[in-house]
Amino acid sequence: MEQERYLKLIKVTSPKTPMVRTLVTSFVVGGFICCIGQAVSDILRAIYTQMPDTELRMWTTVTMIFLGALLTGLGLYDRLGYYAGGGSIIPITGFANSVVSPAMEYNREGIFFGVCSKMFTVAGPIIVFGVVASVIVGLFALIFV
């Protein structure tokens, strides 16, 4: 069998991701995580009525990161990710999961070369792009604003 024909066959016949099901679940779960974020923000506002908005946003983010890390530690976030896909990866809880999961995985290789060095194997690109994007935006702000 020729290579070209074989690759074409694979392209046509290989099982595909069920788009409708995965899109719907990721939409629902992603939306639900955002609702929790909003709820956290509202609760904080109810407790600390005088807190400035910027600080309120920061504490909401911190709480969500904590929840993501906690669920990862309890071994629940990967199960959520199995169904939700992008819905649980995109929110900040997913970022927490991507940092905590390698840290847990490489715990056995020691603190220095295990946990600390492998912690960013998954989240590294996100951090790099985040920093680069913020530098670019900062330069624009400096020049034009």
Tokens of 131: 């920093």
- Supply the minimum distance, in Å, between the C-beta of residue 24 and other proteins: 14
Q: Does 30 bind other proteins (CB under 8 A)?
A: no
CB nearer to other proteins: pick between 59 and 117: 117
- Which residue from 75, 110, 125, 130 is in contact with other proteins, where contact means CB under 8 A? 75
* Residue 42 contacts other proteins per CB under 8 A: no
- From CA 118, how far away is CA 93, in angstroms rounded? 19
Nearest CA to 63 among 45, 83, 79, 84? 45
User: Does 77 sit near other proteins (CB under 8 A)?
Assistant: yes
60 contacts other proteins (rule: CB under 8 A): no
- Dist CA 13 CA 11 (whole Å): 6
Ramachandran area for residue 94 (φ above 0: left; ψ -120 to 50: alpha; else beta) = alpha
For other proteins, the closer of residues 17 and 49 by Cβ is 17
Angle at 53 between CA 47 and CA 56, to 5 degrees: 50
Catalog residues that contact other proteins under the rule CB under 8 A.
1, 3, 6-7, 9-10, 13-18, 22, 72, 75, 77-82, 84-85, 88-89, 94, 97-98, 100-102, 104-106, 108, 121-122
